[in-house]
Amino acid sequence: MKVDYKNRSQNIFIIFFLISYLIIQFFGLNYLNDQSKNEFCESVISVESLTTKNSNEIYFDFFNDKITYRTLDIFPEIENIKCLSFESNSNSERVILTSNNFYNLILILTFLGSIFLFSLLKYRNIFIFTTFIYLCYLNITKLFFKEFFLNYYFLLAVFTVFLYYLIINKDSDNDLMDYIRIFYFSFYSIILFFDYELFQKLIIYLIAFYLIFLSSKKLNSKELILLKLLPMIYYGLRILSGIFLNLNVTWQRLSANTYQSNERYADGFYGLNVLNCNATGCDERNNYGPIWEYLSLEMNVEIVSIILATIVIILMLLIYIKLFNILQVDKFILQFLFISPPIVFGLERGQFDFHFVLISLYALLIFKKNKLIAYLLICFAIQVKLYPIFLFAGIVFYFYKMKETKNLIESLVLLLINSSVLLFYYFRVNFSERIQDQSGISQTYGIQSHAQNYNDFLNVDLLIGYLGQLIIILLLIGYFLKVRQNESLKEHNFVYLSFSSMFILSSLIGNIDFRLIIFCIPLVFLLENGINFVSISGLYLIASSPSMYFNGFQNVNQNILFTIIETIPVFISHLSFLIMFSYFIYEFIFYFFKNDMLANK
């Protein structure tokens, strides 16, 4: 009886709170409609420059282009809040005051708070929840912009309703941990679509929370459905906003601000434009391999780049669904890999690294069935992207250990031929002038890149930077040899060894973080062995790259807290890279000398 009374009281309080929130919104609408003459707000507009960029062009796909929205600073100037949606009558054009940041904050808190409060109710009603969410969305939008209209956040409202329908259990009693799980997965999912920049900054902490508090309990059926659908919905929106060029806001909200632009698949466009210019005679310098230097294909570059990038995204989703269905790995971790910053970065840019990594992966998978096609595909990838030549290190190692002499000789011959062609091409076109600087701290990884960054940001001599990394790597290899040598490690397969070798050798130089797709393939194999120190290090290498923009230590005296927050993901990224780099080297050492090491025990 006491329990029923407590539940009833809780329900009444929540319902009262929700109704009060709606009433406040309606009062706000009534107040703002009555402020047609407000000298203070008129003065705010007069201070602003009329050339200020129209904020609706930045934040909204669908807007009234006859209205100019001017942004207010609400914090710390809290008095400006009374000017929200104020319309000036002193100009020939319609000028309305608003605050995009405050609007974003109110909406995200409303969506998250609604999920949480409705989950506490002892009954579930999708109609009431949907009505509440849409009333809040429309009221808040009118409060800030003086009229009802649909924008990107309407999609977020739809997604919030979908979340409620999917993960809130009907007529069931939840304990505290159940509520925590509901709120966690709701927060994770909504932030992903609300603003990927924010999602990227929070992900290292979200993963830590999941691993510490939630991973011990098996995911339920509703959570599994959600995790399976998240990448599909996310990349579905990416595909749609890539095709329909007026959906700029949707395109940008799915991206991180460090590489945000309205251009669709810009790197893929460049790569195809090289081929087009080879055919039409326009000027576009080739930064790819020898095949791209001479292959000519006349095309509509914009359309073909969108089609090609769309196909690659669909292929990635098909791979995800396949792995989700067959792999015995933590499904939360698996879905994170597919929406992680490096993967999102590469797919948004239409990077050819994804195309040729997928080609290389397919070649290795079909090697035993069709060796000729496999070799041709690998050689093609090498002659376009160059670094797939490092696959041969793992291939040669595998055939040597398996005593497959014929395959070993064939691989060595192909390695020699490809190396000769690349060297000839390198010196013939003076390719060193075309190599891009890949040492920026916010979006790169690799031994050379790290040493350069230590020099740029910490004034550490380049030689010291290299030696310091070498010492750490040797210590980590020694640790792995001592601690993990007694474990019964299963022989890794052809694909794992090949991509591990490509990661090791390509990591000697600087790399943009989207190239971590190379690393994701062996990481999936490691995750099959469970969550441990190594796999967690791999996850954090992915989660912290590309890290938030790093300003160095210039502002440390003004804002030490922000400098620390800014430095944490960079530190995690560098440390996790060294751990994984060392671990892969250890594996090659251990497997190469495995019999001798075990014999000497």
Model pLDDT, residue 247:
82
- In tens, the pLDDT along 82-94 reads 777 777 766 666 7
Q: Give the range among 293-307, 436-450, 587-601 with minimum mean pLDDT.
A: 587-601
Contact between 85 and 100 under an 8 Å Cβ cutoff? The reply is no
Model pLDDT, residue 320:
96
The neighbouring-strand residues paired with 445 are 511
Model pLDDT, residue 259:
59
For residue 51, pLDDT over 70 is answered with no
Query: Residue 149: pLDDT band by 50, 70, 90 thresholds?
Result: confident
- In tens, the pLDDT along 63-114 reads 566 677 777 777 777 777 777 777 776 666 677 778 888 888 899 999 999 9
For residue 314, pLDDT over 80 is answered with yes
Query: Residue 338: pLDDT band by 50, 70, 90 thresholds?
Result: very high
Model pLDDT, residue 91:
61
pTM score, whole prediction: 0.89
Average pLDDT estimate for 547-567: 65
Question: 63-68 — which CB contacts under 8 Å span 24+ positions?
Answer: 63/149, 63/151, 64/147, 64/149, 66/93, 66/94, 67/94, 67/95, 67/96, 68/93, 68/94, 68/95, 68/96
Question: What b/e string do you get for 143-172 counting C-beta neighbours within 10 Å, with b at 16 or more?
Answer: bbbbeeeebbbbbbbebbbebbeebbeeee
For residue 48, pLDDT over 60 is answered with no
- In tens, the pLDDT along 224-263 reads 999 999 999 999 999 999 998 878 888 888 886 655 677 8
Name the average pLDDT for the chain.
84
For residue 39, pLDDT over 70 is answered with no
Average pLDDT estimate for 138-158: 85
Give dist(CA 340, CA 334) in Å, integer: 10
Give dist(CA 392, CA 415) in Å, integer: 7
For residue 56, pLDDT over 70 is answered with no
Q: Give the range among 127-131, 190-194, 253-257, 348-352 with minimum mean pLDDT.
A: 253-257
- In tens, the pLDDT along 164-180 reads 998 887 655 678 888 89
Contact between 536 and 211 under an 8 Å Cβ cutoff? The reply is yes
Q: Between 24 and 412, where is the model more confident?
A: 412
Average pLDDT estimate for 123-127: 84
Average pLDDT estimate for 19-42: 76
Share of the chain above pLDDT 90, in %: 42
Three-class DSSP labels, 515-573: HHHHHHHHHHHHHHCCCCHHHHHHHHHHHCCCCCCCCCCCCCCCCHHHHHHHHHHHHHH
Model pLDDT, residue 57:
45
Model pLDDT, residue 261:
72
Model pLDDT, residue 164:
92
Model pLDDT, residue 284:
79
Average pLDDT estimate for 564-593: 87
Model pLDDT, residue 133:
94
Model pLDDT, residue 365:
94
Q: Give the range among 1-5, 126-130, 205-209 with minimum mean pLDDT.
A: 1-5
For residue 49, pLDDT over 50 is answered with no
Give dist(CA 165, CA 253) in Å, integer: 24
Q: Could you tell me the residue ranges of all domains in the chain?
A: 1-41+56-194, 351-435, 438-600
